[in-house]
Chains A and B, each alone.
Chain A
Amino acid sequence: MPLDQVVFWVFAPISVGSAIAMLLQRNAVHAALFLVVNFFTIAVFYLVLGASFLFAVQIIVYAGAIMVLFLFVIMLLGVDRDESLVERLRGQRVLGIALGVGIALELIVAIRAGVGFATKAPADFDQVANQGGNAQALSRVLFRDYFFPFEVTSILLIVAAIAVVVLASRSRRSIARAPVEPARTEEAA
């Protein structure tokens, strides 16, 4: 068994398992930790697929920055208590799972029709697409063919940053108008 198949068969079950485990956690913090595991496995898949730059980005941005942000917000809001599992919407859970499984099956059918289960990737990926190293090759494509979209994303990030400042800052007026917040009973408890 070649190394990449070993890696796949080790990490694929971890990936799917951690995703399902995330779903089943009642506690938001635990869910976040399982999600981190899942992001790590995806990073490993990137490595196997020859995307070593994205591997690094996945770990730094997703597993690092974004998940820290999630955990930070969870702690900030103090919602690290267990979620009630009572479903108020009739049929929501059953229908949701049924449709989720349904879309998975449909996607797999689509993969079979479009790609085929046995299709192997070309062997010369490192010589053709990744010529000179993945990071170098990616930057060539990024800064040559996709330079304008790349610059546009910088505007997007700035706008997002401004939006967050506006959303998260409490203006003086809203403080004056806001009702006195009820005591945080869950912190006391």
Chain B
Amino acid sequence: MRTPISYFLVVSAMLFSIGTIGVLVRKNALVIFMSVELQLNAVNLALVSFSRMHNNLNGQVLAFFSMVVAAAEVVVGLAIIVTVYRRRQSASVDDATVLRG
């Protein structure tokens, strides 16, 4: 493989930042959630790249675990969104401001 490892890492960093911006600027809870998934995937990409660089599979195993955890997290997160939506009839995070000081 001739592509330098850092290229993948840079793509990963860009995807992570785009996900971050998505969390900050979007209001729809579902889209925010998708942005979080994008961040997770960016990190997974970095992990797999490091695995390739260090010539062992620990990074891939960690990415695998992160996928499992992400799957669990998506399920619970979506259930929370559904519950909040039922109560407020809105999926916008700006409408859920009960915990203000």
Contacts and interface: CB of A to CB of B under 8 A. Distances in A.
Please classify how large the interface on chain B is, using the bins under 10, 10 to 19, 20 to 34, 35 or more: 35 or more
Contacts of A161: 75
B3 A23 contact: no
Contacts of B58: 141, 145
B54 to A, nearest CB: 9
Nearest to B34: A35
Contacts, number: 254
A116 B67 contact: no
Contacts of B3: 2, 4-5, 8, 48
Interface of A: 2, 4-5, 8, 12, 15-16, 19-20, 22-23, 25, 28, 31-32, 35, 38-39, 42, 45-46, 48-51, 53-54, 57-58, 61-62, 65-66, 69-70, 73-74, 76-77, 79, 83-84, 87-89, 92-93, 95-97, 99-101, 103-104, 107-108, 111-112, 115-125, 128-130, 137-138, 141-142, 145-146, 149-150, 153, 156-157, 159-161, 163-164, 167-168, 170, 178, 181-182
Given A23-B18, A76-B82, A168-B83, A65 B63 contact: no
- If over half of A's interface residues share one DSSP class (helix, strand or loop), that class is named, otherwise mixed; here it is helix
Interface of B: 1-11, 13-22, 24-28, 30-31, 33-35, 37-38, 41, 44-45, 48-49, 51-53, 55-58, 60-61, 63-65, 67-76, 78-83, 85-86, 89, 91-92, 94
**What are the 3 A-B residue pairs with the smallest beta carbon separation, nearest first?**
A96-B24, A100-B21, A104-B17
A117 B83 contact: no
B85 to A, nearest CB: 5
Given A2-B2, A4-B2, A93-B25, A70 B34 contact: yes
A145 B58 CA distance: 9
Contact of A121 (B1, B19, B35): B1
B63 to A, nearest CB: 6
A112 B21 CA distance: 23
Nearest to B21: A100
